Amino acid sequence: MTLQQVLEKTANESLHQYMSELLVELCRIDTTPKGD
């Protein structure tokens, strides 16, 4: 595996982790009862 491939793999995994956390946050916001 070349350094380029390692960097791409790492970036993809980081992005996937970030997107997963972002989706969890959005879902939690959407399902939170509104105060009004």
pLDDT in tens, 1-36: 899 999 999 999 999 999 999 999 988 887 777 766
Amino acid at 24: V
| pTM score over 0.75 | no
Q: Which domain holds residue 20?
A: 1-27
Q: Is 33 part of a structural domain of the chain?
A: no
Q: Is 34 part of a structural domain of the chain?
A: no
**Predicted pLDDT of residue 23:** 93
**Predicted pLDDT of residue 11:** 95
**Predicted pLDDT of residue 36:** 65
Question: Hey, is 12 helix, strand or coil?
Answer: helix
Q: Is 1 part of a structural domain of the chain?
A: yes
Question: Hey, is 34 helix, strand or coil?
Answer: coil
**Predicted pLDDT of residue 13:** 96
